[in-house]
Structure 1
Amino acid sequence: MTRASTSTRVFVYGTLLSGEPNHRLLRGARLIGPGRTRPRFTLHDYGPFPALASGGKHSIKGEVYEVDALMLAALDRLEGHPRFYERTPIALDGAGCVEAYLLPKERLADRPIIESGCWRRHRKERKQW
């Protein structure tokens, strides 16, 4: 990523995490480090991926990356922004404001809540069922 390009910090919490299937889209992005939301969100199990919604009481665990405009456009395509997920600025606990992909609450009716706020932990626990 060139420094001359416009960069955006993005919080990822599911299939874009390092080691997860969609992480390849972040190849070349700068890892800022681990991140955690303030306890104002809910993470839902949407089957093969999680969905983040505002207005909860959980702190969600993830990673923060700095991406350029082309990479952000690729992430928007993957997430179906703005028709499916909505890219929204959120405040992280102690790390400032970043962009995150949130799903509108009306799409989350009857979807199980991931109480731990951690997609990786949830997937491990789910495999043990």
Structure 2
Amino acid sequence: MKLFAYGTLLYGEKNHHVLEGAQLLYEKVTLPAIMYDTGDGYPAIELAQESIVIGDVYEVPDHMWVDLDELEGYTGDPEMDLYTKQMVNIKTKDSILEAIVYTVCDETMKKVVISSGDWITYRKSQEIK
């Protein structure tokens, strides 16, 4: 199963180690979505046509999904979860592929819109301030 990663799971970010053993398929692909700064050191997104989010696509072995779900606060209960899992179509230079993306479930996480849709650039700009 493929994963669209857009925040702390990206290479060089604090939770990338969770993807150790996953295969990077595509870098810097886009997904129609809005990115938010949660104020807690990680982003959240919601699918939307009017904006894009930049991320990477990984092929994730089945055994890794338990750790990913735990990291993302996903149990399958929308009343309790931070994120939900959605299947999306990702357009790459070669094709269109299906991937899972973790999207915001807890509306209180949507603090500040990150208009660039690029978590790494945004995070670095916040460090400079």
Question: Which residue pairs with 1:91 in the alignment?
Answer: 89
Deviates more, 1:119-128 or 1:52-61: 52-61
Verify: 1:46 aligned to 2:38, yes or no: yes
Query: Structure 2: any 5+ residue segments left out of the alignment?
Result: none
Aligned ranges 1:28-47 → 2 under 5 Å: 28-38=21-31, 40-47=32-39
Check conservation: 2:2, 2:99, Cα contact below 8 A: yes
Verify: 1:69 aligned to 2:67, yes or no: no
> By how many angstroms is 1:104 displaced?
2.7
Question: Which residue pairs with 2:6 in the alignment?
Answer: 13
Question: Which residue pairs with 1:24 in the alignment?
Answer: 17
| Amino acid in structure 2 at the alignment position of 1:112 | V
RMSD: 1.6
Check conservation: 2:82, 2:106, Cα contact below 8 A: no
Give the whole-Å Cα distance in 2 for the aligned partners of 1:15 and 1:80: 14
Question: Which residue pairs with 1:60 in the alignment?
Answer: 53
> By how many angstroms is 1:56 displaced?
5.0
Name the structure with the higher strand share. Answer: 2
**Structure 1 consecutive aligned stretches of length 4 or more whose deviation exceeds 3 Å:** none
| Amino acid in structure 1 at the alignment position of 2:91 | D
Offset from partner CA, 1:41-75 (integer Å, 9 cap, x none) = 10000120000112352111111111111101110
Q: Percent identity?
A: 32
Query: Structure 1: any 5+ residue segments left out of the alignment?
Result: 1-7
